């Protein structure tokens, strides 16, 4: 029976445990570059025991960012910053992963911490604002909520083909920068998710209508990347598999699309919500591990390894979903922000034989051999302190 701390092998890559730092946009880039900020923030999570470390959704074009402070990999000059990140992540014993994406009709925003309305929804900047632009979409339908009301540009077939070339070019840069795991972002209302959702996609050509047509943009992105991404490295995608709205993406359609992606060389499915509308029926945001049931169905019915995030930050719950073989990997977003050493803390909580085996070897030696008074190293004692004296 696997546990949270069992290794996991996919293609030529073995992860040291099942704990993944989920991609999180940091709004801290200049000209889309990664710098000391990202080296220190991502290096700390690798040192903290995460097995697979994602930075944020990396834009394949400048207008594929959420804000002008977001990171990307659309230009060769950006490779150096990514290479610094992959080097520190590997040095700390983790595998560096990249998520490629395009924000589509959810771009042109202010960072949430600077641009949230009184009702806490995000605010989109108009195209004529110095930090704004005209967003692209499958159809001329703006997102519509939280100030996302500016007109969007519906992509032509030639423009779609050009974007797929940009996916492939970004993947080549990711390979050159040293990443060993690549995820395509097909969730959260961004461009690919909006092609898949009937709420956003009203096209009548080969990219709209049936499930197969709505999945075409996603499959072609996958094909473009598969053609250049090394075979020994996993190629995965995060799908917004349910819009929780009767007019939007339906989970049963997602099962069909993931089967198609498997035939196109997908190695693992990471399941999330569609977020193509704010009008979600009974949103489960405060329920523990709410994506696990759907993820398990993908694992069973499609026969692919699966990963998922959402409210899995309680160690006993994260361990349970692995032990019961509901999912293969647990992804942590906010818990990884809050605690760079979450895996080591979880190991203590779960009475792992050697929690410090998760930290770099030189620290481990000191922590295991120079104990002193247990709480003096900053850990709450799992056993009563007296038993260690
Ligand atoms: C600050 C922040 C930024 C995020 N940015 C991304 C992103 O770039 N790509 C993505 O797929 N998900 C993004 N997410 C979603 C997380 O990856 C994760 O799926 C979500 O937070 C649920 O996991 P959690 O309950 O462990 O936080 C972001 C979440 C947060 C909190």
Joined tokens for residue 173: 């840069």
pLDDT of amino acid 75? 98
Residues 258-274: pLDDT tens digits? 999 999 999 999 999 99
207 catalytic residue (yes or no)? no
Which segments of the chain have a pLDDT < 50? Answer: 384-389
Structure tokens that stand for 211 in this block: 């499930």
* Whether residue 67 has its Cβ less than 6 Å from ligand 1: no
What residues pair up with 8 in beta bridges, in sequence order? 15
Residues 168/174, Cβ–Cβ less than 8 Å: no
Verify whether ligand 1 is closer than 6 Å to residue 332 (CB atom): yes
Which domains are seen in the chain, by residue range?
A: 8-355 (3.20.20.70), 359-389 (no CATH)
- Give the distance (Å) from ligand 1 centre to CA of residue 55: 10
Contacts of 380 (CB under 8 A, 6+ apart): none
How many C-beta atoms surround the C-beta of residue 312 within 10 A?
26
Specify the pLDDT at position 116: 65
Mean model confidence pLDDT for the chain: 94
Q: How many CA atoms lie within 13 A of 71 on its CB side?
A: 26
Q: Is 22 in the pocket of ligand 1 (CB under 6 A)?
A: yes
- Burial profile 252-270: b = 16 or more Cβ within 10 angstroms, e = fewer: ebbbebbbbbbeeebbbbb
Which two tokens mark 28?
């801290």
Helices assigned H by DSSP within the chain: 36-47, 79-91, 112-115, 157-177, 191-196, 211-214, 216-226, 251-263, 292-302, 315-323, 334-338, 342-349, 361-369
Nearest atom in ligand 1 to 334's CA:
27
Q: For residue 209, what is the DSSP state?
A: S
From the candidates 41, 143, 179, 190, give the one annotated as an active-site residue: 190
- CB of 272 within 6 A of ligand 1: the answer is yes
pLDDT value, residue 123: 78
What is the distance in A from the centroid of ligand 1 to the CA of 191? 17
Neighbours of 377 (CB within 10 A): 12
Contact 158, 213 (CB under 8 A): no
**Ligand 1 centroid, distance to 303 Cα (angstroms):** 25
- The residue with tokens 């994260």 is 318
Question: What is the DSSP track for 274-286?
Answer: --S-S--SS--TT
Ligand 1 touching residue 16 (CB < 6 A): no
Residue 380: per-residue pLDDT: 58
What is the CA(165)–ligand 1 centre distance, in A? 26
């Amino acid at each position: 029976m696997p546990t949270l701390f069992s290794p996991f092998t996919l293609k030529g890559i073995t992860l040291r445990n099942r704990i993944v730092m989920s991609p999180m946009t940091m709004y801290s880039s200049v000209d889309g570059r990664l710098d000391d900020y990202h080296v220190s923030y991502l290096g700390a999570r690798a040192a903290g025991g995460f097995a697979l470390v994602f930075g944020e959704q990396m834009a394949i074009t400048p207008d594929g960012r959420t804000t002008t402070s977001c990171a990307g990999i659309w230009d060769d000059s950006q490779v150096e910053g990514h290479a610094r990140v992959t080097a520190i992540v590997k040095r700390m014993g983790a595998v560096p992963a990249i998520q490629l994406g395009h924000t589509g009709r959810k771009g042109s925003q202010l960072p949430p911490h600077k641009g949230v309305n009184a009702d806490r929804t995000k605010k989109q900047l108009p195209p004529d604002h110095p930090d704004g632009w005209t967003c692209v979409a499958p159809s001329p339908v703006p997102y519509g909520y939280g100030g996302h009301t500016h007109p969007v540009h519906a992509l032509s077939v030639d423009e779609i083909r050009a974007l797929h070339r940009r996916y492939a070019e970004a993947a080549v840069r990711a390979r050159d920068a040293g990443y060993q795991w690549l995820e395509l972002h097909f969730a959260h209302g961004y461009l690919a998710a909006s092609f898949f959702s009937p709420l956003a996609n009203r096209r009548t050509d080969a990219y709209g209508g049936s499930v197969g047509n709505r999945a075409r943009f996603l499959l072609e992105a996958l094909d473009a990347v598969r053609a250049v991404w090394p075979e020994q490295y996993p190629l995965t995608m995060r799908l917004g598999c349910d819009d929780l709205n009767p007019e939007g993406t339906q989970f049963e359609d997602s099962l069909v699309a993931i089967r198609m992606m498997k035939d196109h060389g997908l190695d693992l499915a990471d399941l999330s919500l569609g977020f193509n509308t704010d009008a979600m029926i009974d949103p489960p945001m405060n329920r523990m591990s709410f994506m696990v049931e759907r993820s398990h169905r993908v694992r069973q019915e499609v026969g692919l390894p699966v990963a998922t995030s959402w409210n899995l930050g309680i160690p006993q719950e994260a361990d349970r979903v692995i032990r019961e073989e509901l999912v293969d990997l647990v992804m942590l977003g906010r818990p990884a922000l809050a605690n760079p050493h979450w895996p080591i803390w979880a190991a203590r909580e779960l009475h792992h034989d050697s929690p410090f085996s998760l930290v770099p070897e030189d620290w481990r030696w000191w922590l295991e051999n120079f104990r002193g008074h247990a709480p003096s190293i900053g850990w709450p004692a799992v056993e009563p302190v007296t038993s260690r004296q």
